[in-house]
Amino acid sequence: MQYRAVGMQHWNCETMDDSVVLHHALSSDTHILNFLSAEILDACQTRACSITELANLARERLGVSEKECPTGLIERCVADLDEAGLIWPND
């Protein structure tokens, strides 16, 4: 399964320490993402990605190993982003 992200044209993003605050200008929805979730969301902006692709991209961007960032953690972040409506399965 692959995942896509919402378009970011109406979102304001602000980085605060190791978090990213997303605020939707039209709906006033606000989300606070940890650095890993923010990387996953960013990776899904340009194309649909599988969990494996997201894991590899996030690890590469963050400079961490699979041991430091296991696939289960990526899966949990993807599930949280999906539940929040920020990404969804691309069937």
Q: Residue 18's pLDDT is what?
A: 87
Helix H or strand E encompassing 61: helix 51-62
* Average pLDDT of the chain to the nearest whole number: 92
Q: Would you state the pLDDT for residue 55? A: 95
**What integer pLDDT is reported at residue 10 of this predicted model?**
79
Architecture of domain 2-89: Alpha-Beta Complex (3.90)
Tell me the pLDDT tens digit for each residue of 17-51. 889 999 988 888 999 999 999 999 999 988 999 99
CB 77 within 8 A of CB 40: yes
Containing H/E element for 4? strand 2-5
For residue 91, pLDDT beyond 80:
no
Q: How many helices (H) and strands (E) does the chain have?
A: 3, 6
Q: Is residue 65 over pLDDT 80?
A: yes
Q: Return phi, psi of residue 72, to 5°.
A: -60, -35
What does the domain layout of the chain look like in residue ranges?
Answer: 2-89
Which residues are CB-neighbours of 28 under 8 A, at least 6 positions away?
none
